[in-house]
């Protein structure tokens, strides 16, 4: 044991000076680097460097780039800060700059300095402004930038070792703003507080991430949720051939604020909107899958007995270069009708949708068709309760609704089609009977912008003439007429079950007061303009002919 101890002591004595020399060399190296960092900045011609950087960025983007200033930094990471960066626009898209940023922070890869090459590690835009423009020819101003970047050979951003081609820098933007311009008209829509990131995980594969808050420049939209975009793009010879795999979302948007964002006015609906979409394939024919979810849907005027949830699934083929969706279809599943075997559906199908024309069905949608299959009466009444508190809150009768309508702008045809609803339960005004009640069929036809209710006999066929109701509704309002013969109790039951007839109809029928159990003849018409008060008027009886005596 003693011998071993002596050997270790000799080893320490031999290695001690070597460690001291190594430490001295490291200290000297650090001092040399610090002196180099302190002495180098004054020797650099900042003005010449600024011009070289602007020229290099212009060549990379294919657009003129202007800088007002440049500040060099060497610690803790070599880099520089650009002041007032402006990337000019292609004259084919306007005169406003495509990108403007007061501050741009750029870091260098330190190892590239030893190879006498300037290789960027990251580029960070602070509070930039981006103008997204689509001209009258249907071209986007970013198309040229993307195709120009696709022609420049770059190594992956996270490649650990330098290669023959420079590594693509990690590009990001914080607290930015995205503006939209279509042709010569600047849109009121914008994305604010936007954070953006772009990098190259593999040689021909870009990753992109964007998150921001949608806003309008002409309206006070306080909170319209958050929009996100994430996914990948690949290199291609033409923009339409660029393969994309993108996921977009619009979450936690109150319906009132969302409607103000899209239309400029509060549409009077309340609830929470969430939208998720995926786009995969080449940009000229990518597959679109969208899910629209609305929770706790209701009108702003009142809280109904039951709030509704909607889950709409849509699909289509998107030509992103021309902003057109081909063969779009949307499906809204509805609850299974009582006694049914499968859920009902509400379906919307079109030949194409022009995204820029969505503010007008006539100009934005071609070949639109709406259909309903085995939709429960209870679900239809739940929707009716969202519009009126007068719809009874009691259990809905058993039955289903089916039908379809089409829209055509040719020759002013508008909407054309019809819907049919069946009611299988006993009506409240019918007497209780041992046998099953006769089914009641309700038919509504659509012509242009008017819905017409076909004459509907509310009483059993055995009881003639009974009570009949007809009516129509349009964009201006509705009209309903109840005519026929029945007891006062039957008439009052009908008026109580059909809320639109209940307001003022009985007051217009004084004959009901003293009718007792005797049948009486009624003929009353109720009309209401949307947003106004309903008025009911009884038809005037024809004067009885006067009997003339013989002279």
Per-residue pLDDT of the chain (551 residues; tens, 9 = 90+): 444 444 555 554 555 667 767 766 666 666 655 555 554 555 455 677 778 778 877 877 778 999 888 887 777 777 889 999 999 988 888 888 999 999 999 888 776 555 556 678 899 999 999 999 988 887 888 887 777 777 777 888 888 787 788 888 899 999 999 999 887 888 899 999 999 999 999 888 899 999 999 999 888 888 999 999 999 999 888 888 999 999 999 999 999 999 999 988 999 999 999 999 999 999 999 999 999 999 999 999 899 888 999 999 999 999 988 889 999 999 999 998 877 778 899 999 999 988 765 555 555 788 899 999 999 988 998 898 888 777 777 767 788 999 999 988 776 678 899 999 988 877 777 766 656 677 889 999 999 889 999 999 888 766 667 889 999 999 899 999 999 998 888 888 888 877 777 778 888 888 888 878 888 899 999 998 987 888 999 987 544 444 444 44
Specify if 163 maps to a domain: yes
Specify if 78 maps to a domain: yes
Specify if 192 maps to a domain: yes
Q: Which residues touch 473 (CB under 8 Å, ≥6 apart)?
A: 450, 451, 479
Q: Is 547 exposed, middle or buried (0-12, 13-18, 19+ CB in 10 A)?
A: exposed
Q: Please state, in angstroms and rounded to a whole number, the distance separating the CA atoms of residues 334 and 374.
A: 9
If we measure between CA atoms, which residue out of 90, 126, 122 comes closest to residue 107? 122
CA-based R_g, the chain, Å = 37
Specify if 547 maps to a domain: no
Specify if 390 maps to a domain: no
Q: Please state, in angstroms and rounded to a whole number, the distance separating the CA atoms of residues 486 and 430.
A: 11
Q: Please state, in angstroms and rounded to a whole number, the distance separating the CA atoms of residues 480 and 469.
A: 7
Domain count, the chain: 1
pTM score, whole prediction = 0.80
Specify if 265 maps to a domain: no
The whole domain housing 133 covers 45-218
Specify if 103 maps to a domain: yes
Specify if 535 maps to a domain: no
């Amino acid at each position: 044991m003693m011998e071993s101890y002596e050997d270790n002591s000799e080893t320490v004595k031999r290695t001690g000076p070597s460690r001291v020399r190594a430490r001295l060399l490291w200290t000297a190296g650090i001092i040399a680097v610090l002196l180099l960092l302190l002495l180098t900045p004054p020797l650099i011609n900042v003005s010449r460097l600024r011009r070289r950087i602007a020229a290099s960025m212009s060549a990379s983007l294919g657009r003129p780039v202007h800088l007002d200033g440049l500040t060099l930094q060497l610690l803790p990471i070599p880099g520089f800060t650009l002041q007032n960066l402006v990337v000019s626009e292609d004259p084919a898209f306007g005169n406003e700059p495509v990108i403007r940023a007061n501050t741009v922070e750029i870091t260098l890869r330190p190892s590239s300095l030893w190879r006498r090459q300037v290789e960027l590690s990251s580029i960070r835009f602070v509070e930039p402004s981006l103008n997204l423009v689509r001209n009258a020819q249907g071209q986007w101003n970013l198309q040229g930038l993307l195709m120009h970047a696709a022609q420049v050979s770059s190594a992956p951003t996270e490649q650990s070792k330098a290669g023959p081609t420079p590594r693509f820098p990690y590009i990001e933007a914080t607290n930015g703003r995205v503006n939209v311009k279509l042709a010569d008209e600047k849109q009121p829509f914008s994305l604010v507080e936007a954070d953006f990131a772009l990098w190259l995980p593999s040689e021909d594969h870009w990753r992109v991430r964007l998150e921001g808050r949608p806003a309008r420049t002409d309206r006070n939209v306080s909170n319209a949720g958050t929009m996100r975009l994430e996914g990948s793009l690949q290199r291609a010879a033409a923009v339409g051939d660029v393969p994309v795999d993108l996921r977009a979302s619009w979450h936690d948007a109150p319906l009132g604020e969302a409607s103000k964002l899209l239309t400029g006015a509060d549409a009077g609906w309340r609830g929470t909107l969430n939208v998720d979409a995926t786009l995969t394939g080449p940009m000229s024919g990518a597959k679109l899958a969208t899910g629209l979810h609305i929770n706790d849907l209701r009108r702003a005027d009142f809280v109904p007995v039951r709030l509704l949830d909607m889950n709409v699934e849509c699909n289509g083929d998107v030509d992103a270069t021309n902003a057109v969706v081909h063969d779009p279809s949307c499906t809204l599943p509805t609850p299974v009708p009582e006694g049914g075997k499968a859920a009902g559906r509400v379906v919307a199908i079109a030949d194409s949708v022009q995204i820029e024309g969505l503010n007008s069905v006539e100009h934005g949608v071609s070949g639109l068709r709406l259909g309903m299959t085995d939709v429960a009466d209870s679900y239809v009444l739940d929707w009716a309760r969202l519009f009126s508190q007068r719809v009874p809150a009691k259990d809905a009768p058993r039955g289903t609704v089916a039908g379809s309508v089409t829209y055509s702008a040719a020759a002013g045809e508008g909407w054309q089609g019809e819907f049919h609803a069946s009611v299988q339960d006993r009506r409240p005004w019918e007497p209780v009977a041992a046998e099953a009640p006769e089914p009641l069929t309700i038919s509504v036809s659509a012509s242009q912008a008017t819905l017409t209710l076909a004459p509907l006999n509310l009483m059993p066929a055995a009881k003639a003439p009974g009570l009949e109701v007809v009516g129509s509704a349009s964009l201006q309002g509705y009209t309903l007429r109840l005519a026929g013969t029945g007891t006062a109790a039957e008439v009052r039951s009908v008026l109580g079950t059909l809320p639109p007839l209940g307001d003022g109809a009985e007051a217009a029928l004084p004959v009901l007061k003293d009718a007792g159990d005797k049948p009486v003849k009624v003929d009353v018409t109720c009309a209401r303009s949307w947003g106004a008060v309903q008025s009911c008027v009884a038809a005037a009886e024809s004067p009885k002919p006067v009997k003339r005596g013989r002279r």
